[in-house]
């Protein structure tokens, strides 16, 4: 089953890459740009076939993909495509310019990328990451609304026998502890709370908020027990309970004074409605963005995990190899097959969300870097028009290639570090 899970993830990865490149490809063709190649993967070509003017293929290393559009960079200031220089930085620039022009054919003069208006180039470059965002949203919605996710419910799992300050980190009652309101009211494991103080409660989050807001109040609680509704009376205690953030998540190590009933909620697989699903996805986007911002700060711990035997945290950066391993572990878990599939889809969805956010960073050679270049060109050309100055022409993104090589070098080093950690000290879910 481990192998099956890895295969499922790899297939999802390859589809995600092809789907990303299809976004670039579709709009490039729509705007009349010639695209000689559409490739999934890097390295040696495993399979390719030419159809029309484009060669479609799969390469050996499934670590990304690309489409080749002619004329990504404009000619130099002298109008020449390539000039030689003793400066290594200048050589990088001209090599990039030459590569973007190497497949120019007669009649391609009007089919080059740099000749398109900035807004068209923005659409072309943004289309790939947006495709990943769309795929992530579709997969998330499929799981949330179709399969459901594990979350706390309004069903009672266990009842606390006394009031314990949650900051004390204990679950055993001591002499002098007051009986919990739940125990005093006769709440039992298996009861499903259907209303609290006259308010219908279908979701744990809303029930929890009602309890927290009812300190020192005596409230009626209606529970479903053995197929019948039973009404209980409980005086809600005031207690130190875990703090929640704005999204309803527990803040570790922080506590507030609020109402306390004294029971543990059971967990179950719960299907989400569309509104809750959108809210859930919004929270994940925020968390993923925060994770990307926090990446540099996680490098020391990642280094320790890779070379010094340090603990590999659950939220540690993970590459394709690590994600494939997790995908394999999912199919070894002792859970229903439907939940295995749901978890695998969540993994692929999370991968696509990361691809979207990562590729939108305004750094070359990422898509976001090209978008930033096109936006800057639009700004300066419109400003020149407003000030009645000569048109400055296309912004020469090729001049930023030395910086792009530095960025690419950093990314490659980081990828190698993550790969080593994924092999010698992988993130595990079981």
- Beta strand 149-159 with 263-270: parallel, antiparallel or unpaired? antiparallel
* Tokens representing residue 250 in the block: 């527990």
CB 140 within 8 A of CB 348: no
Q: Please name every residue paired with 55 in a beta bridge, in sequence order, or none if there are none.
A: 37, 50
Q: What span, in angstroms and rounded, lies between the C-alpha atoms of 207 and 158?
A: 16
* Tokens representing residue 84 in the block: 């030689």
Number of helices followed by number of strands (H, E) in the chain? 11, 10
| 21 noted as active-site residue | yes
Q: What span, in angstroms and rounded, lies between the C-alpha atoms of 21 and 128?
A: 6
* Tokens representing residue 11 in the block: 């297939």
What SS3 class is residue 388? coil
Q: What span, in angstroms and rounded, lies between the C-alpha atoms of 228 and 224?
A: 5
Identify the helix (H) or strand (E) that includes residue 88.
helix 88-101
Q: Please name every residue paired with 77 in a beta bridge, in sequence order, or none if there are none.
A: none
Contact partners, residue 277, CB within 8 Å, separation at least 6: 140, 141, 144, 145
CB 161 within 8 A of CB 183: yes
**Residue of 21, 94, 329, 377 marked catalytic:** 21
Instruction: Tell me which residue has tokens 């994600």.
Output: 323
* Tokens representing residue 277 in the block: 């699903």
CB 188 within 8 A of CB 225: yes
**Which residues are the active-site residues?**
21
């Amino acid at each position: 089953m481990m192998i099956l899970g890895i295969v499922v993830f790899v297939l999802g990865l390859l589809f995600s890459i092809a789907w990303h490149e299809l976004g670039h490809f579709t709009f490039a063709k729509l705007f009349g740009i010639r695209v000689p190649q559409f490739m999934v993967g890097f390295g040696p070509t495993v399979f390719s076939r030419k159809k029309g003017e484009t060669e479609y293929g799969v390469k050996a290393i499934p670590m990304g993909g690309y489409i080749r559009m002619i004329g990504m960079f404009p000619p130099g200031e002298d109008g020449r495509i390539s000039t030689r220089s003793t400066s290594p930085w200048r050589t990088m620039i001209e090599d990039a310019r030459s590569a973007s022009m190497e497949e120019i054919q007669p009649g391609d003069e009007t089919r080059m990328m740099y000749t398109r208006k900035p807004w068209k180039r923005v659409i072309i470059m943004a289309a790939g990451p947006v495709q990943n965002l769309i795929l992530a949203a579709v997969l998330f919605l499929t799981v949330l609304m179709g399969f459901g996710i594990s979350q706390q419910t309004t069903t009672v799992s266990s009842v606390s026998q006394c009031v314990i300050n949650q900051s004390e980190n204990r679950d055993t009652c001591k002499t002098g502890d007051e009986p919990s309101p739940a125990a005093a009211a006769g709440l039992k494991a298996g009861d499903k709370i259907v209303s609290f103080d006259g308010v219908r409660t279908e979701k744990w989050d809303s029930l929890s908020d009602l309890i927290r807001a009812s300190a020192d109040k005596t409230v009626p609680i209606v529970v479903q027990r053995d197929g019948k509704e039973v009404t209980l009376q409980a005086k809600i205690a005031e207690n130190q309970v875990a703090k929640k953030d704005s999204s309803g998540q527990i803040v570790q190590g922080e506590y507030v004074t609020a109402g306390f009933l004294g029971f543990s909620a059971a967990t179950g697989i719960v299907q989400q409605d569309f509104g809750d699903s959108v809210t859930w996805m919004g929270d994940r986007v925020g968390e993923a963005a925060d994770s990307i911002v926090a990446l540099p700060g996680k490098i020391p711990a990642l280094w320790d995990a890779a070379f010094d035997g340090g603990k590999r945290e659950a939220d540690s950066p993970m590459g394709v190899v690590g994600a494939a391993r997790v995908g394999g572990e999912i199919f070894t878990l002792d859970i229903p097959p439907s939940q295995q599939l749901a978890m695998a889809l969540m993994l692929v969805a999370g991968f696509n969300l990361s691809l979207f956010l990562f590729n939108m960073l305004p750094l070359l050679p990422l898509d976001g870097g090209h978008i930033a270049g096109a936006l800057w060109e639009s700004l300066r050309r419109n400003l020149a028009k407003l000030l009645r100055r000569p048109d400055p022409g296309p912004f020469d993104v090729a001049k930023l290639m030395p910086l792009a090589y530095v960025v690419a070098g950093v990314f490659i080093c980081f990828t190698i570090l993550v790969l080593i950690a994924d092999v010698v000290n992988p993130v595990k879910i079981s």
